[in-house]
Structure 1
Amino acid sequence: MKKIKVMIAEDERLAREELIYLLEQEEDLEILESAINGKELLALAEKHIPDVIFLDIQMPEMDGIQTARMLRARMKKLSIVFTTAHEGYAIDAFELNAVDYLLKPYSYLRLKETLQRVRTRKAEQAETPVGAKEEAASASKLNKILMDDGEKIVVIGPENILYAMREDKVIHLYTTDHHYTSSKFTLNELEEKLQGCHFFRPHRSYLINLNQVDELIPWFNGAYTLTLKDKNRTKIPVSRVSAKELFKLL
């Protein structure tokens, strides 16, 4: 039986040792070296290629959310389980497609539920035909977008998004009936999430829904101004470099 390779990133020694002890009770797990911060984890993960990482969020030097984003870019099949004493990072965790979100202190029974989810995901990955990998990866990017409006978490379908705009380090996302702001992810990350959903970058600071484009007006030096179908007839700049590709897509 091929064992599931497990890595732990936890800066508190007692919490790390307790988790190692509990995981050692499972016969199908191989416990790898542990890390005490995000930077160390990145190096160890590249060295050992774990199947799953139990990742604390509040760690020195680099927090767990930032580390998870970097790991996601390098290791597409990696399963991540966040372990934290704080509830406020749940949105970030599930936007990163985490297997689970363990709130400390957790019981052995709760941990076993998490491990079952890890095993299920591992089995699903093993059953995915080679020819279907690209299709599955594309489908995984059709997930809903989660936005926090200050009072509740809002689930947004890609089809309802008009455009997104980057301003300083904040993303402004406009839907057909609302405006949301977020500093939780970058425009590049949002574009990756929406890949395969008819979105396009006409300008480095904008991401638009191609299904919402109404007209294009020539500007100067090969650039254009794009008008969306919303009631405000929103105008979006189209750079000269992006214009040629945009016409192909339209």
Structure 2
Amino acid sequence: MTISALIIDDEQLARDELAYLLESAKDVDVVAQGANGIEAVELIEEHHPDLVFLDVQMPGLDGFAVIQRVMDRHRKQKDGSNGWSLPQFVFATAYDQYAVRAFDVNAVDYLLKPFDRGRVEKALERVRGRMTNGAAAANGSSESPIESQLDALLSLLKSPQGAARTAPPAKLIVQAGSRLLLVDQADICFAEIEEGVIRVVTQQFEGQSKCRTIEELLDQLEPAMFWRAHRSFVANINQIREVVPWFKSTYQLRMNDKKQTEIPVSRAQTKRLRELFNL
């Protein structure tokens, strides 16, 4: 069975990267792409896809507003004679750590930018499983499993707890040798994951985080300060010393640590870099 899919993202580079990664999935057919929330709603109604890769952060109509409109229109049409099935959604996000936790709670899948091939393949496996199980579970039910999941997600995001968005701790525990140090987040220059180990570098020293993944580390960091410039690197925006032009219109970041380490910026994050520093 071929899975028809849409890619909705306001960044051309992100759309291109995801489309490239999906080419290796023989059962996925990307039928259209959109650059904003309005296009997303129109394309979903036009193509009735099985799957939508939907950016969370878009100007105007963000990913959650898209879901709300699609749900509203779906219910109106379902009451008539031209009802259609809701697609599976895989959300793409780079900054909103609360949203990531909300997705986990409601079993709605997500991808963190920059995209990782293995993570995309895992998301597709989950989509295939949900499509199979959802079709069976929906028999005899007035509301599909997808509808229930999305309702729960939107309710959580609108709740007072969701609106509050709990702030991350001001300090981070970093292991340096046998010592466990409490480090001010502002002093962290960058973090890098290599072979499952996360190295945290400050202006004075470096050590290791107890976190197992970059996603877990980001949950503990201030999202307004830290930016995932590359799938393996998280940079403190305030500790970037220099932006270095690199090959094929890409960049590297020279950080403010003792070694003035240069870390890469992925193609998908180039637009975000230009927005941050008006390049």
Within the alignment, does 1:151 sit opposite 2:166 as a pair? Answer: yes
Computing the radius of gyration from Cα coordinates, the structure with the larger value is 1
Aligned to 2:142: 134
Within the alignment, does 1:94 sit opposite 2:103 as a pair? Answer: yes
Aligned 8 A contact 2:7 2:53 in 1: yes
Aligned 8 A contact 2:90 2:108 in 1: yes
Amino acid at match of 1:90: A
Distance 1:143 1:11 in 2: 26
When residues 48 and 135 of structure 1 are mapped into structure 2, their CA distance, relative to the original with a 3 A threshold, is closer
Deviation (angstroms), 1:116: 0.9
Residue 14 of structure 1 aligns to a residue in which SS?
A: helix
Distance 1:70 1:96 in 2: 22
Within the alignment, does 1:112 sit opposite 2:121 as a pair? Answer: yes
Gaps of 5+ in 2: 75-84, 168-279
When residues 27 and 79 of structure 1 are mapped into structure 2, their CA distance, relative to the original with a 3 A threshold, is same
Distance 1:97 1:4 in 2: 23
Deviation (angstroms), 1:73: 2.9
Deviation (angstroms), 1:22: 0.8
Aligned to 1:125: 134
Distance 1:135 1:34 in 2: 28
Deviation (angstroms), 1:46: 0.6
Residue 61 of structure 2 aligns to a residue in which SS?
A: coil
- Percent identity of paired positions between Structure 1 and Structure 2: 40
Within the alignment, does 1:32 sit opposite 2:41 as a pair? Answer: no
Distance 1:81 1:135 in 2: 20
Map 1:36-115 onto structure 2 (within 5 A).
36-75=35-74, 77-90=86-99, 94=103, 97=106, 99-115=108-124
Distance 1:42 1:143 in 2: 20
TM-score norm. by structure 2 comes to 0.47
Aligned length: 151
Aligned 8 A contact 2:50 2:87 in 1: yes
Deviation (angstroms), 1:136: 5.8
Residue deviations 1:31-50 (CA, integer Å, cap 9, x gap): 11100001011111111001
Aligned 8 A contact 1:7 1:33 in 2: yes
When residues 150 and 110 of structure 1 are mapped into structure 2, their CA distance, relative to the original with a 3 A threshold, is closer
Residue 20 of structure 2 aligns to a residue in which SS?
A: helix
When residues 135 and 70 of structure 1 are mapped into structure 2, their CA distance, relative to the original with a 3 A threshold, is closer
Deviation (angstroms), 1:6: 0.7
TM-score norm. by structure 1 comes to 0.52
Aligned to 1:218: none
Amino acid at match of 1:7: L
Distance 2:14 2:143 in 1: 39
Aligned 8 A contact 1:82 1:93 in 2: no
Distance 2:101 2:48 in 1: 23
Amino acid at match of 2:65: Q
Residue deviations 1:192-225 (CA, integer Å, cap 9, x gap): xxxxxxxxxxxxxxxxxxxxxxxxxxxxxxxxxx
Aligned 8 A contact 1:5 1:52 in 2: yes
Per mean C-alpha deviation after superposition, the further-off stretch among 32-41 and 141-150 is: 141-150
Amino acid at match of 2:6: M
Aligned 8 A contact 1:81 1:98 in 2: no
Gaps of 5+ in 1: 153-250
Distance 1:126 1:27 in 2: 22
Amino acid at match of 1:134: S
Map 1:162-241 onto structure 2 (within 5 A).
none
Residue 71 of structure 2 aligns to a residue in which SS?
A: helix
When residues 46 and 103 of structure 1 are mapped into structure 2, their CA distance, relative to the original with a 3 A threshold, is same
Distance 2:129 2:24 in 1: 19
Name the Cα RMSD after superposition: 3.3
Residue 34 of structure 1 aligns to a residue in which SS?
A: strand
Residue deviations 1:76-97 (CA, integer Å, cap 9, x gap): 5321111111133516953995
Distance 1:33 1:60 in 2: 20
